Copies of this chain bind each other. A is one copy, B any other.
């Protein structure tokens, strides 16, 4: 399940969906990304998230397929919010269920690393100095490239 939406999401609901009716699941790993109130040394008051509807969902589906071909996974759920967000707001959810914890941990982190570097989302943040588009981070590229080894 891959969803891009403006509204907030509920971790418990997503977890219940990952867990349901499958007694061969031994591990569920979830990641939630939250909006921080600082970035590059400045206080951030709000965030606007834009995306390329259509391509986003395709890219995310492709990342999930890659993860499923690499690890033994039961289910994967991704939710990414767009629109206006405030500090401490939930931005992104990735949940993975698997028979074994190693597969669930690796796949969840893999999906986040490629979501960060490949999925067409853009953040514009409002600081006390005004608005600015967030720059891509070299460290995110490095995180994604680890998986090529």
Contact = CB atoms under 8 A, between A and B. Distances in A.
Contacts of A31: 27-29, 101, 104-105
Interface stretch (A17-25, A53-61, A65-73, A128-136): A17-25
A95 to B, nearest CB: 9
A83 interface: no
Q: What copy number does this chain have within its complex? A: 2
A19 B11 CA distance: 12
Mostly helix, strand, loop or mixed at chain A's interface? mixed
A116 B38 CA distance: 36
Interface string A2-32: 0000000011100100010011111111111
4 tightest A-B CB contacts, nearest first: A23-B37, A12-B12, A23-B87, A26-B36
Interface of A: 10-12, 15, 19, 22-38, 87-88, 99, 101-102, 104-105, 108-109, 112, 143
Given A11-B12, A12-B15, 4 more contacts: A19-B32, A22-B88, A23-B37, A31-B105
